[in-house]
């Protein structure tokens, strides 16, 4: 194995050192040779699509060089221009949706982002000829999301299997803090990716490169100049306008980052967000130094982010306008002398009163009183409402801001308001902290929705400010207890009890509520476990979110035995054995992440039919990782005519490195394979013990 790995490493290194910056083909034209050579992805023959190239550039432009004393808006200063150009090959119609592009443009007061110079072409081969269809820019949709952002939707025309899709556009931005980040790696292969950034010497940005793909870099320096025209507007009838010119010379550093033959990012189970591990580069503005001015630092601390939020109209100030809750707060305050009861009563009130509209945000879109009266709101409105209610009831309550799993891990060492997209509530007493998210009506105190279990968050308060852990305080625990009798035709009758605790209980309650009624819930269970017929069912603790969700039922199971001559074979966990393997990659370059500890257990007792005895049973097994963080135990014993089965699979650790991947994969394989092994019954004129 080692010689093969060494040869592969040398090949990769050789390819890496041979990489070079590529020229961009002219937009709107493609040759027959190019169309023919793109028929299959050269680095991944199974790819449904791939980027032939993807190029971007950011430069700083001083557009308004004529500055008038009577027009304060004439000195706009530097603006950023981001240019994008790509060609995408569609190999399978399942990937045709990749040709639809969605962009977000921001605005804040006079500062805006504008989209311009959109060009798009779809190339298809028809009867041996290239047919080019141009994008009609009138079909581009601008959808105002809120006061601060607009979504732009571009749907490319005539996209089909075999198409090459080309898109080009520019974004002009006043937001110098938000220098465009660039993703070299995608969900499909990329043959060539390049990002060029030209930064004037006045700006100091800190680049950060993430991911596992090698990115090459070339740096050059260019002389630049700006010729300004200043017009001093005359004041009075006999005074003329005064006009003078000035040329400012400066240096511009140009960094070209590029990579070739970038494999697709293959996402699979137990990954919080691909964004955390995709190969990309981002930039942080750390300071500026303009002529005749001192150095101005923009290095931000989390305490600075906290201060900005506390002073923000749609966060701190919105939180302080909570007089409308005083009646409810006083009622809750006097409802109990126990602090946890008061917290629980406030939590239940907001959960019952407010409905989350599905929007993640750290800012309110309307004032809290309006949201309260309407009964609906985004995550900030719902949870800032809860914080306000708790504070009004005399408790030490604080908002906690965070980044959800899908939004990516919060960069603790790089404070940034733009990385935050969610807010929850926290209460602290003399001994404990209590976390709550009222967007989830079926959650309990300290059980945050899975989307919030993402490392650390920040408490926003003038005094109590600081990091707080978002690690789960509950696990995902499910167990099955079955008592069955098998008849001579291979049908099982008996009772089954499903017990779901922690997050398993939360999801089971959500499933029940989503099905709307008991009959639909039964129907969904019968679809999940083919061959099962549920005859009676009793549910315990449906409304009590602090207790285990218990579902007891009488069932009949058919179709889980094989007959061979005078033998009957069956997997003793029947419909409830482990299913498809969640880990399929040969190698995984990024970590394995679990949101919470997990345990899945089953204890079954199966009575075999008269006239049969147990010929063979699977061997018992117990496997464990070196640190005992993953364990699997499986055993079967036979007592008289009873087969007793025990299965227990546990994962206690939440984060595993790529080197642990094969071991975790093996643990699942052990469980799946063991569950698939058969008990063999043999018919006899008399029964005999195993």
The answer on 270 and 382 residing in a single domain is no
| pTM given for the model | 0.85
The domain boundary residue, chosen from 297, 323, 347: 297
Sheet of strand 422-428, all strands in order from the earlier edge strand to the far edge: 433-436, 422-428, 397-402, 456-459, 466-469
Range of the domain at 125: 2-297
Would 26 be classed as within a structural domain? yes
398 and 539 fall within a common domain = no
Interval 190-229: pLDDT, tens: 999 999 999 999 999 999 899 989 999 999 999 998 887 8
% residues pLDDT > 70 (the chain): 94
Tens digit of each residue's pLDDT (9 = 90 or more) over 25-74: 888 889 888 888 888 999 999 999 999 999 999 999 987 777 766 665 55
User: 126-132: long-range contacts at Cβ-Cβ below 8 A with a sequence spacing of 24 or more?
Assistant: 130/30, 130/32, 130/35, 131/158, 132/28, 132/30
In whole angstroms, give the CA distance from residue 668 to residue 631: 10
Instruction: Please indicate, yes or no, whether residues 209 and 84 belong to a single structural domain of this protein.
Output: yes
| Across 386-402, average pLDDT | 96
Residue at 689 is within a domain: no
pLDDT at 518: 87
563 within some domain:
yes
* Residue 394, token pair as written in the block: 């005399």
Residue 445: predicted pLDDT? 97
Task: Please report the pLDDT score of residue 234 as a whole number.
Answer: 66
| CATH number, position 254 | 2.60.40.3140
Task: Confirm whether 70 is domain-assigned.
Answer: yes
- Please give the sequence-ordered ranges of beta strands (E in DSSP) within 276-390, or none if there are none: 280-288, 296-297, 355-356, 376-377
- What is the mean predicted confidence (pLDDT) over 583-598? 95
> Are both 549 and 615 inside the same structural domain?
yes
Residue 627's pLDDT band, with cuts at 50, 70 and 90, is very high
Tell me if 512 sits within 8 A of 541, measured CB to CB: no
- φ/ψ region of 574 (left if φ > 0, alpha if ψ in -120 to 50, else beta) reads left
Does residue 688 sit within a domain? no
- Contact 250/270 with Cβ under 8 angstroms? no
634 and 664 housed in the same domain: yes
CATH classification of the domain holding 377: 3.10.620.30
**Last residue of one domain, picked from the residues 469, 501, 525:** 469
Q: What is the pLDDT confidence band of residue 20, given thresholds at 50, 70 and 90? A: confident
pLDDT for position 235: 64
For residue 18, what pLDDT band results from cuts at 50, 70 and 90? low
Rounded to whole angstroms, the Cα distance separating 264 from 476 reads: 32
Cβ(229)–Cβ(64) below 8 Å: no
What distance separates the 2 farthest-apart alpha carbons in the chain? 127
Domain count, the chain: 3
Give the pair of three-digit tokens for residue 60.
Answer: 């700083």
| Alpha-helical segments (H) within 562-660 | none
**Least confident piece of the model among 102-111, 340-349, 427-436:** 102-111
User: In this predicted structure, what is the pLDDT of residue 11?
Assistant: 36
Asked whether residue 639 is domain-assigned, the answer is yes
Average pLDDT, the chain: 90
* Contact call for residues 646 and 633 (beta carbons, < 8 A): yes
**The pLDDT value given to residue 2:** 36
Q: What is the mean predicted confidence (pLDDT) over 281-291?
A: 90
> Contact, 360 vs 421, CB < 8 A?
yes
**Could you tell me the pLDDT band of residue 10, with boundaries at 50, 70 and 90?**
very low
Residues 443 and 513 in one domain: no
- Check whether residue 283 and residue 308 sit in a common domain: no
pLDDT band at 530 (very low <50, low <70, confident <90, very high): very high
> Which band of pLDDT confidence, cut at 50, 70 and 90, is reported for residue 447?
very high
pLDDT above 70 for 545: yes
> Binning pLDDT at 50, 70 and 90, where does residue 613 land?
very high
- How many other CB atoms sit within 10 Å of the CB of residue 238? 5
Using the predicted structure, report yes or no on whether residue 238 has a pLDDT greater than 90.
Answer: no
Residues 106 and 162 both lie in one domain: yes
The average pLDDT across 537-545 equals 94
Of 670 and 107, the one with more pLDDT: 670
Answer yes or no: do 163 and 213 share one domain: yes
Whichever domain contains 489, its CATH number is 2.60.120.1130
d(CA 190, CA 89): 10
Q: What are the tens digits of pLDDT across the range 398-431?
A: 999 999 999 999 988 888 888 899 999 999 988 8
Does residue 281 belong to any structural domain of this protein?
Answer: yes
pLDDT(345) > 90: yes
Are residues 344 and 490 located together in one domain of the fold?
Answer: no
What is the per-residue pLDDT for 634? Answer: 97
Q: What is the DSSP code string of 371-382?
A: HHHHTEE-HHHH
Average pLDDT, stretch 548-559? 96
The Cα–Cα gap between 369 and 452 comes to: 26
- Of 279, 297, 315, the residue that ends a domain is 297
Q: Is residue 637 part of a domain?
A: yes
DSSP 8-state assignment for residue 438 = T
Tokens of 1: 């194995």
Nearest to 299 by CA among 177, 155, 122: 177
Asked if 179 and 41 sit in the same domain, the reply is yes
Task: Give dist(CA 197, CA 207) in Å, integer.
Answer: 11
pLDDT band of 471, cuts 50, 70, 90: very high
Does residue 675 share a domain with residue 584? yes
Distance in angstroms (rounded) separating the CA atoms of residues 532 and 517? 19
């Amino acid at each position: 194995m080692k010689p093969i790995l060494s040869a592969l490493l040398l090949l990769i290194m050789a390819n890496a050192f041979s990489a070079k910056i590529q020229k961009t083909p002219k937009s709107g034209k493609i040759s027959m040779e190019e169309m023919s050579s793109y028929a299959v992805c050269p680095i991944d023959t199974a790819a449904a699509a791939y980027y032939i190239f993807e190029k971007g550039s950011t430069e700083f432009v001083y557009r308004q060089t004529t500055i008038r004393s009577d027009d304060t808006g004439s000195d706009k200063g530097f603006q950023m221009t981001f240019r994008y150009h790509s060609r995408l090959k569609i190999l399978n119609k399942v990937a045709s949706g990749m040709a639809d592009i969605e962009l977000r443009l921001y605005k804040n007061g006079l500062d805006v982002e504008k989209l311009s110079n959109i060009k798009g072409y779809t190339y298809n081969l028809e009867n041996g000829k290239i047919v080019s269809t141009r994008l009609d820019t009138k079909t581009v949709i601008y959808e105002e999301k809120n006061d601060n952002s607009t979504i732009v939707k571009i749907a490319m025309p005539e996209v089909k299997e075999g198409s090459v899709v080309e898109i080009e556009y520019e974004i002009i931005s006043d937001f110098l803090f938000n220098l465009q980040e660039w993703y070299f790696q995608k969900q499909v292969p990329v043959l060539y990716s390049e990002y060029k950034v030209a930064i004037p010497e006045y700006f100091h940005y800190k680049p950060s490169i993430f991911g596992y793909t090698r990115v090459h870099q070339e740096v050059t320096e260019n002389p630049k100049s700006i010729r300004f025209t200043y017009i001093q507007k005359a004041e009075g009838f006999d005074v003329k306008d005064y006009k003078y010119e000035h040329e400012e010379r400066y240096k511009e550093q140009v960094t070209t980052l590029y990579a070739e033959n970038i494999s697709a990012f293959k996402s699979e189970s137990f990954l919080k967000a691909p964004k955390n591990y995709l190969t990309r580069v981002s930039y942080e503005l750390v300071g500026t130094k303009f002529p005749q001015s001192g150095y101005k630092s923009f290095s931000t601390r989390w305490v600075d982010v906290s201060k900005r939020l506390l002073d923000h109209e749609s966060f701190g100030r919105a939180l302080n306008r909570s007089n409308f809750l005083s009646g409810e707060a006083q009622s809750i305050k006097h409802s109990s002398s126990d602090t946890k009861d008061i917290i629980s009563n406030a939590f239940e009130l907001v959960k019952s009163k407010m409905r989350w509209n599905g929007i993640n945000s750290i800012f309110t879109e309307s004032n809290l009183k309006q949201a309260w009266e309407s009964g609906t709101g985004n995550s900030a409105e719902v949870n800032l409402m809860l914080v306000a209610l708790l504070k009004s009831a005399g408790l030490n309550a604080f908002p906690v801001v965070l980044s959800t799993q899908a939004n990516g891990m919060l960069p603790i060492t790089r404070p940034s308001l733009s990385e935050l997209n969610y807010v929850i509530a926290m209460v602290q007493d003399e001994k404990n902290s209590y976390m709550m998210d009222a967007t989830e009506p079926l959650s309990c105190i300290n059980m945050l929705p899975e989307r919030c279990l993402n490392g650390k968050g920040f408490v926003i308060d003038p005094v109590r400010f600081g990091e707080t852990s978002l690690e789960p305080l509950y696990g995902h625990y499910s167990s099955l207890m079955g008592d069955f009798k098998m008849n001579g035709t291979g049908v099982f009758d008996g009772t089954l009890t499903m017990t779901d605790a922690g997050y398993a209980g939360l999801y089971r309650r959500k499933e029940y509520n989503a099905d709307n009624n008991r009959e639909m819930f039964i129907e969904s269970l019968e679809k999940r476990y083919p061959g099962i017929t549920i005859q009676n069912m009793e549910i315990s603790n449906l409304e009590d979110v602090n207790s285990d969700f218990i579902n007891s039922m009488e069932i009949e199971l058919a179709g889980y035995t094989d007959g061979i001559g005078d033998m009957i074979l069956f997997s003793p966990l029947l419909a409830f054995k482990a299913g498809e393997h969640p880990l399929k990659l040969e190698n995984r370059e990024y970590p394995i992440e679990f949101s919470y500890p997990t345990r899945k257990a089953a204890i079954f007792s199966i009575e075999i039919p008269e006239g049969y005895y147990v010929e063979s049973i699977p061997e018992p097994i117990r496997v464990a990782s070196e640190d005992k963080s993953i364990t699997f135990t499986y055993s079967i014993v036979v007592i008289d005519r009873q087969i007793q089965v025990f299965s227990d699979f546990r994962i206690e650790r939440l984060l595993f490195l790529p080197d642990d991947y094969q071991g975790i994969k093996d643990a699942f394989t052990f469980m799946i394979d063991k569950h698939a092994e058969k008990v063999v019954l043999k018919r006899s004129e008399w029964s005999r013990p195993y």
